[in-house]
A and B are shown apart, each in its own frame.
Chain A
C-alpha cells in the first residue's frame, strides 16, 4: 500500500534540538535501502508557492490564500508499506514527527 507522507512544521513549536530525535539522513538511508521510501523531498515554504485555478476556461494565478496545510508542509515522502501500522512506525522514526506533525494519506486505489 502506498502512503503519501506529508511532513509538516508545527508553527507553535520552535525547531530546537530534541534529545533522542532521530537523524534524518539515517532515516532516508534506512528506508531507501528497504524499499519503503519510494521518493521524497523537501519543498520551499508557502511564501514561494503559487496557487493555480482554472475558472471558466481561464487560468488564474494567485499568491495565496493558501489552504492551511500549505504553509506548514515542509516536505513529502512516498512510502510503500504493508499496512498503516508499518507506515506509522516509519513515520514515527522521522525527526519531524518529534518536532512537528506527519500526516499519512493512503493513495487512492480503484
Chain B
C-alpha cells in the first residue's frame, strides 16, 4: 500500500470508506448529520495535506476516523458555552476511538445509515437524495445533475431531510426484526431507482450505477439471510453486463435482439447467476429475484431464438402474482408471442390495450405494431407504430422507431 502515491490511496479510501466514517460520526455526534459530514470531509482534507510528506499511516481508516472525531470535539468545544455540555464532551473525548483496527471488517454502521436514509417517514425523493449524499458521497451538484433539478433545489431537499432526521429523532439503526420486512423493500427500491436513473443515461450517470451496485453489494453482504437483497444485486449485475452493447458506434440504441452477445461481460453474468442461484435456494422469491431470473434467461441465451421463452413466460406469471403491474402484463405478452407465436399473444395484448392502463406508454404501441406486422395486419401495424412514435420520450427512441417505420432510411 505504501508504494502507491498518497493521493491515490486517499481517493480509494474516499470511495470505500466515506460512508463508514460519516456513519461513525453521525453516531458520535448524537445524530448531527451536517457536522458528521463536515468532520469526515475535514479528515480527508487533512490526509491530503499531510500524508504525502509524513507517509501513509499504518491504519489509514483509523487515522481518518480519529481525525474526524477530533475535529468534532474541537467544533463542539468552540461552540459550547455551557459547563454541563463541556463535561459531557469531555467524557466523550475520553472514550476509546471507534474500533477500526482492521480494514476488512464490515461494520454495521453503513447498514444503519442505509436504513436511516430510507426511513419511511422521509419521502422517496428525500430518501434517494440522502442515500446518494451520505452513502455514495456524491456532491450535491452531482446529485442535482442526475435528477435534473437545480443545485439549490437539491441542496434544500437534502437539508430538509437531514433536519427531519435530527428534529424528529429518526433513529440511526437497523430496524428491529419485526419491521425489517416492511423496510427492506424501500431500501432495495431506492437502490434500484438509483441504478435505473443511471442506466437510462449512461454517458452522464455511469458513476451512479457503480455506486448503486456497490451499495447493493454492501447490503447483500450484510444481510445474507435476505434473498431479495441478493436478487437485486444479481439483477443490477446482469443489466450492467449488457451495458456496453446497448448503444452502437453512432450512439444509437440497440434492442436486445440486435445486441452483439459476444461482447456481454461473461464474468459479471457468471457472478450474477451464482448469486441468484444461492438466493433462489431459500425459496422466498420476491420481485427482484424473479426479475433477475428473467434477466438471467436473456443473458445466458446464445441468441433470441435460443432463448427459453416458455420459462420467461412462467417467470412473468410469477412476477404478476407477487408484484402485479400493467408493465409486467405487457412484457409477458411479448414473451408469450416469442414462446407460442403472435396469434396466441395478440388477444392478451388487445385486452391490455383496451384496459387503457398503458395508453400513454410508447412501448405498448411498439409491441402491438410488432405483433400485428407478424400476422400480416400491416395497416394496423403502421398506425400503432405511428402512435408509438408520437409518444416516445427520447430522441434515441424516436430514431429507433423511425427506422422501423421506414426501414433503410436513416
Contacts and interface: CB of A to CB of B under 8 A. Distances in A.
B168 interface: yes
Nearest to B120: A88
Contact of B171 (A84, A104, A106, A109): A84
A85 B171 contact: yes
Interface size on A, as a range, is under 10
A1 interface: yes
Contacts, number: 22
Interface in A41-85: 82-85
Interface in B165-201: 167-171, 175, 179
B170 to A, nearest CB: 5
Contacts of A109: 167
A77 to B, nearest CB: 16
Interface string B17-37: 000000000000000000000
A110 to B, nearest CB: 11
Contacts of B171: 82-85
A106 B175 contact: no
A97 B171 CA distance: 22
A53 to B, nearest CB: 27
Interface in B128-185: 167-171, 175, 179
Interface centre among B119, B167, B169 (most CB of A within 10 A): B169
22 contacts: A1-B169, A82-B169, A82-B171, A83-B169, A83-B170, A83-B171, A84-B119, A84-B121, A84-B168, A84-B169, A84-B170, A84-B171, A85-B170, A85-B171, A85-B175, A85-B179, A88-B121, A104-B168, A106-B167, A106-B168, A106-B169, A109-B167
Interface of B: 119, 121, 167-171, 175, 179
